[in-house]
Each structure stands twice: as C-alpha cells, then as structure tokens.
Amino acid sequence: MKVNCICGNLMHDEKPDTCDVYAAYLREKYYDLLESNPETVEEMVDKMPFSTPFWKCKQCGRLHFFKSGKIEVYNLETEIPDTL
C-alpha cells in the first residue's frame, strides 16, 4: 500500500526508507494471550489479538493510523524542556 504524507513523502510499506511500520495491541488482550500458556510459537502467533497498524513517516515523524475507511494523522510534539 502507498500513502502520501502531508509533508509530501510517498510512503510505501514495502520500502523501509520511506516509513516505519508498527502494530499495536491492547495490553489486556496481550496479557490474556500470555496467561493462556500457548505451547508453541505458532500457537501464540495464531492467537495474537487483532492489531491496529500505523506508520511513522521518516521525513516529518507524523503517525498515520489506519482505521476503517480513513487514516488519522498525528504530528508528534517536540520535547518541552524541564523548567521547574
């Protein structure tokens, strides 16, 4: 799949130089899987909970979350120096 970022970077999930591809799991579902004591790696992979894919643009750092029928884009904040 190809997605054009707001910054102009054409991201492609099969080209690692354009974006980083991630998957996220709910912590509770992951712990439930671990507690079910899968006997093999294959069994664990087969029982993995559904993940929500997201990409990080390598040019600007924006996160692109793929939801049903749309893409939500978030721009990461810069670090705020500790002034306290």
- pLDDT, one tens digit per residue, over 13-71 is 888 899 998 888 778 887 888 888 888 888 888 888 777 789 999 999 999 998 888 89
Predicted pLDDT at 37: 85
Identify the residue whose tokens are 């190809």: 2
30, two tokens: 């992951």
In 3D, which of 45, 38, 39, 64 has the Cα closest to residue 53? 64
- The reply to whether 9 falls in a domain is yes
- Host domain of residue 27: 2-74
- The reply to whether 82 falls in a domain is no
Read off the pTM. 0.67
- The reply to whether 15 falls in a domain is yes
- The reply to whether 84 falls in a domain is no
The residue among 9 and 33 whose pLDDT is bigger is: 9
> What distance in Å separates the CA atoms of residue 8 and residue 4, rounded to the nearest whole number?
6
What are the backbone dihedrals phi and psi of residue 28, each rounded to the nearest 5 degrees, phi first? -60, -40
pLDDT-based confidence at 80, cuts 50/70/90? Answer: low
